[in-house]
Amino acid sequence: MTPFTIDIPQSDLDDLHDRLARTRWTPQLPSDGWERGVPTDWLRDLAEYWRTGYDWRAREAALNAFPQFVDEIDGLDLHYLHVRSPEPDALPLVLAHGWPNSFVEFARTIPLLTDPRAHGGDPAQAFHVVVPSIPGFGFSGAPRTTGFGIPAVAGMFAELMARLGYDRYGTQGGDLGAYVTPELARRHPDRVVGVHIDGGFGFPTEDDVPGMTEEERAEWDLMQQWSSGGVDHHALLRVAPQTFGHGWHDSPVSLLAWHAHKFQEFSMSDQPLLDVIDRDLFLDNVSVYWFTKTAATSSWPMYEGLAQGGAARFEWPKAPAGVPSGVYGGGSALMRRLAERDGPIVHWPEGNPGRHHFIAMEEPAGHVADIRAFFAQLR
């Protein structure tokens, strides 16, 4: 286990600034706001801030305040944060980030999780936190062969926790992390005490339609209308990840636009994106992708098949049998009924705050409060 410090060469930072300064800007198409994609003026303002106002060195130092390491597991370097709580009896907790995100997703929640006493909370609800960078993301090595999938990630995380000396721990994740954490529990139900995800258990598929009531079928129809909007990144990256990767690898504005587009689509608010997600935190994540050259390598969940067992058809996460599970945002009675087919659901709250898919970035205090409430039942 090798200690790791983020130390981006000044030449890389200078190159970023130079590329941003020389951007060949796309003319604005006739549109109203974001209806045809990220507006040129909006993107230009953000790129200029990234170049002249955003202080990467200060942000780098803040990220380096978290103890970080790299360990080789299954032939790949795995980067991870390991932040131990000052409370000796804290429960170990794996946090699994999403796409297009990174370990930056949890920068605001880690201090609240590890040291509740310092933030006016109950020290009995403390966690030792482990945040791995999923292979292909950030400072972890990228998969070298085809066929890499969620089971492989879960196996690496399990090995990491064993090497750290944790034989009993909880798991939490959203988006891509909502697939990794249940798989980890399926593989090691004797070690994982509970699985908490931001959302995703119980989403119906076409296979469920024949058994639906008339009311549930109407709900299904509304879900289809909602899910049909936006850019289908699963389709794009399943077919041509290398093609799009060329642009993201060469142009920081292309990468910035892609992240802005997806973060905007992932918002459940009509407010401007940067009123929901902090601008510097958003740029921390984009900067990690740029400096680590992982825009393309992080696309493997789509081209390898984001599903249970790596199947070709997209599937929603499923609760693991035999391990208690919970979600940050509960859904309808239909969703809970479907979720409970796969495993015990012991936490299904309604009314938690949140306007964005990446809730840990938007509502760190609310996110942490719900994680504490879920694991309080299981300690």
Q: pLDDT > 70: what percent of the chain?
A: 97
In 10 A of CB 337, how many CB atoms? 15
Residue 244's pLDDT band, with cuts at 50, 70 and 90, is very high
Residue 149 belongs to a domain: yes
Residue 58 has pLDDT above 80, yes or no: yes
User: What's the mean pLDDT in 188-198?
Assistant: 98
Mean pLDDT of the residues in the chain:
94
pLDDT band at 87 (very low <50, low <70, confident <90, very high): very high
Cα-Cα-Cα-Cα dihedral of 19, 20, 24, 30, to 10°? 150
3-state secondary structure of 265: helix
Inform me whether the pLDDT recorded for 266 exceeds 60. yes
φ/ψ of 9, rounded to 5, equals -60, 145
Which tokens hold the place of 212?
């639906």
DSSP state of 274: H
Q: Is the pTM of this model over 0.85?
A: yes
Domains in the chain, number: 1
Q: Give the pLDDT score at 322.
A: 92
Q: Is residue 318 part of a domain?
A: yes
pLDDT tens digit sequence for 147-180: 999 999 999 999 999 999 999 999 999 999 999 9
Whether 310 has a pLDDT exceeding 50, the answer reads no
Instruction: Give the confidence band of 280 by pLDDT, cuts at 50, 70, 90.
Output: very high
pLDDT at residue 183, as a whole number = 96
pLDDT at 309 exceeding the cut of 80:
no
Concatenated DSSP letters for 197-247? ESS-TT---GGGGGG--HHHHHHHHHHHHHHTSS--HHHHHHH-HHHHHHH
Is the pLDDT confidence value at 32 over 90? Answer: no
Distance separating alpha carbons of residues 282 and 184, to the nearest angstrom: 28
Domain that holds residue 157: 39-376
Instruction: Indicate whether 4 belongs to any domain.
Output: no
| Per-residue pLDDT band at 273 (split at 50, 70, 90) | very high
User: Cα–Cα distance between 257 and 46 in angstroms, integer?
Assistant: 10
Residue 6 lies in a domain: no
Q: Is residue 142 part of a domain?
A: yes
CATH of the domain at 330: 3.40.50.1820
Any domain includes 24: no
Q: Are 77 and 71 in contact (CB under 8 A)?
A: yes
At position 54, the amino acid (one-letter code) is: Y
Angle subtended by helix axes 56-64 and 279-292, to nearest 10: 90
Residue 340 lies in a domain: yes
Q: What is the mean pLDDT of residues 220-226?
A: 80
> Within a domain: residue 304?
yes
d(CA 247, CA 240): 12
Query: What is the reported pLDDT for 313?
Result: 59
Q: How much is the pLDDT for 311? A: 47
